Structure 1
């Protein structure tokens, strides 16, 4: 039974427009919801399943999928609007996604950038963590089961046909249905231990494909001695950290993988780390001298170099100092990269994000009281007097957040009229406000643990 274009079902509530796709078990249509004036996707059994003698069992599985999915309420899981029967056949009415699936996107447009791929991977990872909390495994994560909403910034997990309940650490009997290249080795067996790590493998394999355009070697062949080709072999531009995370997530044996999606997501770099690795590997980047100074512990030179970078980015080299407008010209990328470099080489004692945290602990305001209190916490103000450059401490023993120092001024008029201290505190708070806008913050496990 195939519905034709213009055919009405559910007493005229839905009008079929076209077939969107046919899978091994189901067929999906685009239809118009005449009551709510919106497009929907309707999934039901295809003709092959309808002709099978065990059709009733397939219907039961379809109903289970529909109600499992209907119970899920997550922004990155496809929304189910209705579950109904038409001429004795069960149907699932879902949101209509217009952005296409990721497999088709890669085939048509080529591999994704790391930033874009990880945006989608994190979103689907959040969805998987959610369904694992409900006691379910998806068991069929792959690029063709990830759709995009029309804004192309939101990935959505679809097709829960293979989803099953699990008890972590318990050996259970499941169907061994799977998608080669994405399924882990335990999915080849009907009886096996399964857990969130099962979906971790598929998510890592999906990431492999998004960044290389190549389907990874199936687990079955790797279990027979064949080696997984490193994703970086296919895409040399891939960061070392992400390459390692993908390989770890696809470990053949389940106990060698991260045991939860969240654990695996913590292994992959965030946008700031990617930017830092990219700029550090570029011999012509403007942060190169800063990293050299920091790596050698030459804190005063690094402090001065930081200020020079800010002047260049704000186009204030000629003036030699920053004002309100120029602090607003500082890009988020600049602030993030400088901060990551300072954090990396100072054991997280120095950096804009450390200063921002302290500033926000004090109320996060740009007023005289907050400025003075911040100066005292950072060691820039002692006994009610602001310090000048000769009194700044260029060692790791300095107070937390002491560097980079924000009191730099050119020789001449501003120093002569005694604005060194007040000027430092004034534009420091402006920069920290800009850092808050750019979400420059300490994200390390060290900070979280404390």
Structure 2
């Protein structure tokens, strides 16, 4: 299989129209264009760009007189992966996957299976496009489109855990890709954060189809158990796969993104703990993830479309963004937005208090009462809440506090002792003492739901000098019962 060269001036393929230059890092890749990477696994030395043979081992550097490697990426269980360029296609960057026949007896079968799947899936913008597949000097090569960006594991290592809204956004973009391959009877078998690429335009792509398989194919006689321990579904580890197997792996991936915790590699667990990780998640959302993680595949969602339908019952990300960007002429939220973007939570909390006084028409009095709380406009409170959630990655906000309140309400009555328990969880009550305002934590290290505190100040203590205290319970409970997020 070969690829025909394209005229550079008329090059309008998928890569140039949709592939952003983000990390994998193409700026570094372009600086590598002046070198050629030896493809001999025992050598891997760098050579001058115009060299035709490795100056160390003598290995030929060009594949089919057109593809050359410029950077070694990684070694998998059955292959080596390189970044390469196609000199007959304007030095288009590509992915070179090498299956060594001398190491893997079934290398050609493995490579052919992956190539056949990519070819069958066709030119999809969220899946690598197959460019070529051939045998060269006793080694099998697969050439595919290089999808650039950071994988979700890299993003998580840099930024920590993902917020609920971020994860829902990713799922809404990734699930249609899974539905696409499942409808074509392809099971990926290796869904995990490192195989999901997050692009600069915030789209996502699914890569590495090396473990993928057709549900019914000519390769069934050679179908070794595949998948990554900790992510693979129980039935997958026993040699059985279904679309629900990929959905289980997606559930594990979701759990990892939300908690920042790697799944256990030693085996499958049916105890995916949320509360102990101090998460404030929507109950309906946790139910969706719990169903994805069911040990028995029959108890899970049976298609990606079913998961999308379940997610549609939650507030869509597009609606949140629309609310966040809504320009209310009567109230200006720009100052709050700017302070939250700077993570200046202390000033943001004070601005929030002033906004709420304005919404309650209590600026002159400088305090709230129960009547004012009951009359607060929900639409504007949603904007304030979404701004806090958006810029704190779902750590702070009224709805975050309400979810914690609801979880406690299911286990105990929220009398004064229950109120203390709630305050202890959000960090307002510590070592059997109520904190005063100056003792609050205005950083990202504060407990989930710690901020904002201003709304529950029914008996205002005068701005920054006011105290957090048990007397706030009445106002807070009135607010929690009133709001619907």
Q: Under a length normalisation based on structure 2, what TM-score does the superposition of the two structures give?
A: 0.51
SS of the equivalent of 1:267 reads: helix
Q: 2:102 aligns with which of 44, 51, 54?
A: 51
Residue aligning to 1:208: 255
Please give the alpha-carbon distance, in whole angstroms, between the structure 1 residues aligned to 2:108 and 2:129.
Answer: 20
Answer yes or no: is the 8 Å Cα contact 1:16–1:30 preserved in 2. yes
Please give the alpha-carbon distance, in whole angstroms, between the structure 1 residues aligned to 2:309 and 2:319.
Answer: 12
Please give the alpha-carbon distance, in whole angstroms, between the structure 2 residues aligned to 1:110 and 1:126.
Answer: 26
Residue aligning to 1:360: none
Q: 2:177 aligns with which of 94, 119, 127?
A: 127
CA deviations over 1:238-273 (Å, ceiling 9, x no partner): 332222211110111111111111112222333267
1:31 aligns with 2:31: no
Residue aligning to 2:145: 95
SS of the equivalent of 1:259 reads: coil
Change (3 A) 1:158 1:142: same
1:78 aligns with 2:131: no
1:182 aligns with 2:231: yes
Answer yes or no: is the 8 Å Cα contact 2:101–2:138 preserved in 1. no
Change (3 A) 1:96 1:4: farther
Answer yes or no: is the 8 Å Cα contact 2:80–2:97 preserved in 1. yes
Q: 2:310 aligns with which of 253, 267, 281?
A: 267
Structure 2 spans left out of the alignment, 5+ residues:
1-39, 53-60, 325-348, 361-371, 384-389, 391-485
Answer yes or no: is the 8 Å Cα contact 2:133–2:142 preserved in 1. yes
Residue aligning to 1:163: 212
Residue aligning to 1:244: 287
Please give the alpha-carbon distance, in whole angstroms, between the structure 2 residues aligned to 1:265 and 1:162.
Answer: 25
1:66 aligns with 2:66: no
- The Cα shift of 1:74 comes to 2.1
Answer yes or no: is the 8 Å Cα contact 1:219–1:252 preserved in 2. no
Change (3 A) 1:74 1:275: same
Change (3 A) 1:175 1:70: same
- The Cα shift of 1:70 comes to 2.1
Q: 1:197 aligns with which of 228, 240, 244?
A: 244
SS of the equivalent of 1:19 reads: strand
The structure whose RCO (Cα within 8 Å, separation 6+) is larger is 2
Answer yes or no: is the 8 Å Cα contact 1:140–1:162 preserved in 2. yes
Please give the alpha-carbon distance, in whole angstroms, between the structure 2 residues aligned to 1:245 and 1:308.
Answer: 27
- The Cα shift of 1:11 comes to 4.3
Residue aligning to 1:420: none
CA deviations over 1:273-324 (Å, ceiling 9, x no partner): 778999xxx99797xx99xxxxxxxxxx9xx9769959x99xxxxxxxxxxx
Answer yes or no: is the 8 Å Cα contact 1:181–1:219 preserved in 2. yes
SS of the equivalent of 1:51 reads: coil
SS of the equivalent of 1:43 reads: strand
Alignment map for 1:29-428 (pairs within 5 Å): 29-37=82-90, 38-45=92-99, 49-52=100-103, 55=105, 57-72=106-121, 73-149=123-199, 151-166=200-215, 174-190=223-239, 192=240, 194-217=241-264, 220-222=267-269, 227-268=270-311, 269=314, 270-271=316-317
- The Cα shift of 1:206 comes to 0.9
Please give the alpha-carbon distance, in whole angstroms, between the structure 1 residues aligned to 2:192 and 2:73.
Answer: 18
- The Cα shift of 1:117 comes to 2.5
CA deviations over 1:195-245 (Å, ceiling 9, x no partner): 2111110111111111211123469443xxxx4232453251333222221
Q: Under a length normalisation based on structure 1, what TM-score does the superposition of the two structures give?
A: 0.55
SS of the equivalent of 2:289 reads: helix
Q: C-alpha root-mean-square deviation of aligned residues, in Å?
A: 3.9
- The Cα shift of 1:182 comes to 1.1
**How many pairs are equivalent?**
284
Please give the alpha-carbon distance, in whole angstroms, between the structure 1 residues aligned to 2:292 and 2:300.
Answer: 5
CA deviations over 1:47-97 (Å, ceiling 9, x no partner): xx5433x52x22112111112112213222122222233223221222223
Please give the alpha-carbon distance, in whole angstroms, between the structure 1 residues aligned to 2:64 and 2:109.
Answer: 24
Please give the alpha-carbon distance, in whole angstroms, between the structure 2 residues aligned to 1:262 and 1:145.
Answer: 21
Answer yes or no: is the 8 Å Cα contact 1:230–1:247 preserved in 2. no
